[in-house]
């Protein structure tokens, strides 16, 4: 492997895009014309759109595209919808579409938002008398609310704002560690900037008021704020989604009875509830659906991932997030997950495709988007588990992956056509595709 001798660069961010690429080519890519061509071929021909993308982040060289697709036939609370998805993984959109069609004739998805409360903390160190701190907090609490009145004015007009501020003693975990635990309602905004602005104002006010509090001694007046930041763990911001149907309508295949399928499905769900090795992959499956819609609508999939996986550990161990039951011959499949999403602000208003995605969804509110995202997650998980307990995951997944394998081996249009036909009746593996390509080419 070639390891170039590299000299640190100063002022890289001040270079224009062409200069950044030129430096990259000379420093790491040995002047590769191929790398330069690839970087530039993904520039958007519309200069305004390209400029917009470059302003999303820093040191932009090109754009990294993901397929933007659609999964139709989702019946959600009686309304038929098509859900946009941005994903690179084979079979995700196909599986979601198949699950949507399956449940569309069985009552569809029933979904409700249970709560939309979000939170954040001011973390601080105080090593004085705790009773003094309690008295100080009781007096300063209304001052904290007043301090953010300017920040919250517009949010309050929309029905949101600061819901509560509580003093939390964490000294059993870290010496002198306390926090202001603050809850918020941010309506159709995801609210990160709003929450962080409030928290930083709380922190400044806390320090200012502590310095004036007469009961504090000199040391106590120097209450030390460590940081102020929202939390992406939103266990109160919950949405619940479910599907149900008679067991007799569950599966139509001569190789397995309805009852056997239901029994295997329930056992698979129970395994994910108790076995972390399975639970992680199980939840990854539902996140295939969740992330694809979150990405398509310009929301923060990393925050959603972190919050949902933390929620999977809320009982002290990592567990599967979907559940199933059969009572009185009725199959029921459901989940509750935390989702902090927005339909205004951030990329939702800036990214052209995110705006199109929200238009496809009929310009939903944040609550409605929570419902749609949860539905996509449950649909994806149902499709995955259904496949696992019947035909196995590889048969369908690898057939969807066939085109990726063919493209990686530079198959021509004629070769693709012939091999797609061939693998309709044969198992797809990397080696089998390579063998058939070689056969054709020879």
300 is catalytic: yes
Q: Given pLDDT bands bounded at 50, 70 and 90, which one contains residue 282?
A: very high
pLDDT at 407 over 70: yes
The pLDDT of 425-440, averaged and rounded, is 80
Banded pLDDT at 138 (limits 50, 70, 90): very high
Q: What confidence tier does 414 reach under pLDDT thresholds 50, 70, 90? A: confident
pLDDT (tens digit, 9 = 90+) per residue, 290-332?
A: 999 999 999 999 999 999 999 999 999 999 999 999 999 999 9
Please tell me which residue, 25 or 400, carries the higher pLDDT value. 25
Lowest mean pLDDT among 139-153, 255-269, 358-372, 381-395: 381-395
Region 409-428: mean pLDDT is 80
Q: Which of 22, 36, 89, 112 is catalytic?
A: 89
Query: What is the average per-residue pLDDT within 15-27?
Result: 93
Over the stretch 95-112, which tens digit does the pLDDT of each residue have?
999 999 999 999 999 999
Q: Which of 205, 231, 224, 126 lies closest to 169, judged by CA?
A: 126
- The larger pLDDT score, comparing residue 124 to residue 255, is at 124
CB atoms within 10 A of CB 356: 14
Catalytic residue status for 284: yes
Amino acid 90: pLDDT: 82
At residue 358, does pLDDT exceed 70? Answer: yes
Predicted local distance difference test score (pLDDT) of residue 221: 93
Interval 126-145 mean pLDDT: 97
2: confidence class by pLDDT, cuts 50, 70, 90: low
User: 365 CB contacts (<8 Å, ≥6 apart)?
Assistant: 188, 343
- Mean pLDDT of the region 82-93: 94
pLDDT at 394 over 60: no
**pLDDT in the model for residue 346:** 82
What's the pLDDT score for residue 3? 62
**Which residue segments constitute the domains of the chain, with CATH numbers given?**
1-65 (no CATH), 72-115+238-391 (3.90.770.10), 118-230 (3.30.70.420), 397-441 (no CATH)
The active-site residue out of 20, 98, 201, 397 is 397
**Interval 158-167 mean pLDDT:** 97
Each residue's pLDDT tens digit, 335-352: 999 999 999 988 888 899
Please state, in angstroms and rounded to a whole number, the distance separating the CA atoms of residues 236 and 90.
Answer: 33
> What pLDDT score does 1 carry?
56
The predicted-structure confidence for 229-271, as pLDDT tens digits, reads as follows: 999 999 999 999 999 999 999 976 667 889 999 999 999 999 9
Catalytic position from the list 284, 309, 355, 416: 284
**Confidence class of residue 400 from pLDDT cuts 50, 70 and 90?**
low
> For the CA atoms of 151, 155, 159, 164, what is the dihedral angle to 10 degrees?
-40
* 255 catalytic per annotation: no
| pLDDT number for residue 395 | 57
| Partners of residue 335 on adjacent β-strands | 241, 322
How high is the pLDDT of residue 393? 60
User: What is the overall mean pLDDT for the chain?
Assistant: 93
Residue 347: predicted pLDDT:
85
Which candidate in 188, 209, 300, 371 is catalytic?
Answer: 300
Global pTM value: 0.88
Where does residue 410 fall: left (phi above 0), alpha (psi -120 to 50 degrees), or beta otherwise? left
CA atoms within 13 A on the CB side of 264: 17
Average confidence (pLDDT) over 270-286: 97
């Amino acid at each position: 492997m070639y390891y170039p001798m590299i000299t640190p660069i100063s002022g890289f961010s001040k270079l224009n895009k062409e200069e950044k690429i030129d430096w990259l080519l000379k420093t790491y890519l040995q002047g590769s014309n191929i790398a330069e061509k690839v970087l530039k071929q993904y520039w958007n021909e519309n200069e305004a759109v390209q400029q917009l993308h470059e302003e999303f982040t820093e040191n932009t060289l090109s754009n990294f595209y993901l397929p933007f697709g659609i999964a139709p036939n989702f019946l959600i609370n009686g309304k038929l919808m098509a859900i946009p998805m941005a994903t690179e993984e084979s079979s995700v959109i196909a599986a979601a579409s198949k699950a949507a069609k399956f449940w569309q004739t069985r009552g569809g998805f029933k979904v409700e938002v249970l709560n939309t409360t979000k939170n954040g903390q001011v973390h601080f160190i105080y090593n004085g008398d705790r009773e003094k701190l309690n008295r100080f907090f009781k007096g300063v609490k209304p001052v904290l609310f007043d301090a953010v009145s300017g920040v919250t004015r517009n949010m309050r007009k929309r029905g949101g704002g600061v819901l509560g501020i509580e003093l939390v003693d964490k000294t059993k975990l870290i010496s002198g560690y306390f926090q202001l635990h603050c809850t918020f309602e941010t309506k159709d905004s995801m609210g990160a900037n709003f929450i962080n602005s409030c928290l930083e104002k709380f922190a400044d006010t806390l320090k200012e008021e502590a310095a004036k509090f007469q009961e504090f001694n000199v040391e106590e007046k120097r209450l030390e704020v460590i940081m102020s930041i929202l939390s992406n763990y939103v266990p109160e911001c919950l949405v619940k989604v479910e599907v149900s149907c008679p067991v007799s309508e569950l599966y139509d295949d001569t190789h397995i009875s309805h009852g056997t399928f239901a029994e295997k499905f329930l056992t698979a769900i129970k395994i994910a509830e108790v076995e972390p090795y399975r639970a992680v992959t199980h939840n990854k499956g539902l996140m295939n659906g969740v992330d694809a819609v979150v990405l398509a609508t310009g929301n923060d999939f990393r925050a959603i991932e972190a919050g949902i996986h933390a929620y999977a550990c809320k009982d002290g161990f990592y567990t599967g997030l979907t559940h199933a039951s059969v009572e009185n011959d009725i199959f029921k499949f459901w989940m509750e997950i935390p989702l902090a999403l927005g339909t205004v602000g951030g990329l939702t208003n800036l990214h052209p495709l995110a705006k199109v995605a929200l238009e496809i969804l009929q310009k939903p509110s944040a609550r409605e988007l929570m419902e749609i995202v949860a539905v996509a997650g449950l649909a994806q998980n149902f499709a995955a588990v259904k496949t696992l307990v019947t035909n196995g995951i590889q048969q369908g997944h690898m057939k969807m992956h066939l085109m990726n394998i063919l493209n990686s081996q530079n198959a021509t249009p004629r070769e693709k056509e012939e091999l797609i036909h061939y693998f309709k009746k044969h198992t797809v593996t990397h080696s089998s595709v390579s063998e058939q390509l070689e056969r054709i080419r020879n």
